[in-house]
């Protein structure tokens, strides 16, 4: 495995107006790794994700360094980034992430044609195969539908398929399961687990949900009010949290997921995290 990080964030500071929303954040994501940025609502997770993606609003003042595949990208908006420093993304709201007027097939064909030079027929074939790999039933029919004709879970898996079709070395997933019911959450987490990690694409998973993070990620960076308070191996953070906020997070997750904890004794024993 290459030892250079896919993503290296150093001393990231983001100010919006007078508010310091991110303050001196540093972390790495290694090739094929799934890491999470974990924090309460308003802690600066989304602004960090936007900085990595090159999608900060024009009024944001940003400093520090964001290196993607070794290239400095902090001051470069998404549309002007070199192909090898582009980052794919999956957002919470799958309905607004997709074009409501364009069929799923046409939206999925686009990255295959644009980034991989496939013909229309080959791109359609690739889109159908990818949707099938996401566990979506009857993908031949599904590609003819528009986003509003799909369920939330189906749409989110289409968004993951779109991100995968871009074949980037890093995917940022910002609260991708928050809007979904628990059964659909599990399907979407399963699709993310299967299609990221050691298979090639590293992932930065943005969440406030320790349980979801524990099903996907090997490592966590925990932030509070824009500042990193603790980071490291997620198993260790769960079994031995040091900071009071991390201790609260673990205690809260234990109280919400008692059956899982009783069965497994600890989140740490959910061993599928380690596989691709």
Ligand X SMILES: Nc1ncnc2c1ncn2[C@@H]1O[C@H](COP(=O)(O)OP(=O)(O)OP(=O)(O)O)[C@@H](O)[C@H]1O
Nearest alpha-carbon partner for 208 in 174, 182, 232: 174
How many whole angstroms from its chain centre is CA 247?
Answer: 24
Q: Which is nearer to ligand X, 56 or 165 (CB)?
A: 56
- The number of residues making up the chain comes to 276
Q: With binding defined as CB under 6 A, does residue 100 bind ligand X?
A: no
Tokens 């600890």 correspond to: 266
Q: Which of 44, 111, 153, 197 binds ligand X (CB under 6 A)?
A: 44
The number of helices, as runs of H, and strands, as runs of E, in the chain is 11, 10
Q: Count the Cβ atoms, other than its own, within 10 Å of residue 232.
A: 13
CA–CA separation, 181 and 153 (whole Å): 9
Q: Which of 10, 125, 167, 208 binds ligand X (CB under 6 A)?
A: 208
Q: Which of 42, 77, 232, 258 binds ligand X (CB under 6 A)?
A: 42
Whether the CB-CB separation of 151 and 95 falls below 8 Å is answered with no
Site mask, ligand X, residues 12-41, x = CB under 6 A?
----xx-x-x-----------------x-x
**At closest approach, how far in Å is the CB of 44 from ligand X?**
4
Q: Which is nearer to ligand X, 164 or 222 (CB)?
A: 222
Q: Where do the H-state alpha helices sit in 23-169?
A: 45-53, 94-97, 104-116, 120-133, 139-142, 152-165
The site for ligand X, by CB under 6 A, has a size of: 13
**At closest approach, how far in Å is the CB of 53 from ligand X?**
13
Site mask, ligand X, residues 45-74, x = CB under 6 A?
xxx---------------------------
Give the residues lining the site for ligand X (CB under 6 A): 16-17, 19, 21, 39, 41-47, 208
């Amino acid at each position: 495995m290459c030892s250079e990080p896919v993503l290296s964030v150093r001393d990231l500071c983001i100010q919006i107006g007078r508010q310091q929303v991110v303050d001196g954040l540093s972390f790495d994501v290694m090739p094929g790794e799934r890491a999470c940025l974990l924090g309460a609502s308003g802690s600066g997770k989304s602004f960090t994700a936007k900085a990595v993606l090159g999608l900060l609003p024009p009024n944001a003042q940003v400093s520090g360094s964001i290196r993607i595949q070794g290239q400095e990208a902090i001051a470069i908006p998404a549309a002007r980034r070199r192909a090898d420093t582009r980052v794919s993304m999956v957002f919470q709201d799958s309905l607004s992430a997709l074009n409501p007027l364009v069929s799923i097939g046409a939206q999925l064909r686009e990255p295959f044609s644009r980034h991989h030079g496939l013909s229309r027929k080959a791109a359609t074939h690739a889109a159908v195969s990818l949707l099938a790999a996401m566990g979506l039933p009857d993908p031949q029919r599904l590609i003819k539908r528009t986003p509003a004709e799909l369920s939330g879970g189906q749409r989110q898996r289409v968004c993951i398929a779109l991100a995968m079709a871009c074949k980037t070395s890093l995917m940022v997933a910002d609260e991708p399961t928050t809007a979904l019911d628990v059964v659909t959450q599990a399907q979407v987490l399963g699709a993310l687990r299967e299609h990221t990690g050691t298979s090639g694409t590293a992932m930065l998973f943005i969440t406030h949900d320790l349980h979801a993070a524990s099903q996907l990620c090997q490592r966590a960076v925990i932030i509070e009010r824009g500042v990193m308070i603790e980071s490291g191996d997620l198993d260790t953070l769960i079994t031995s949290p040091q900071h009071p906020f991390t201790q609260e997070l673990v205690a809260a997750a234990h109280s919400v997921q008692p059956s899982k904890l009783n069965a497994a004794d600890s989140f740490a024993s959910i061993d599928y995290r380690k596989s691709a």
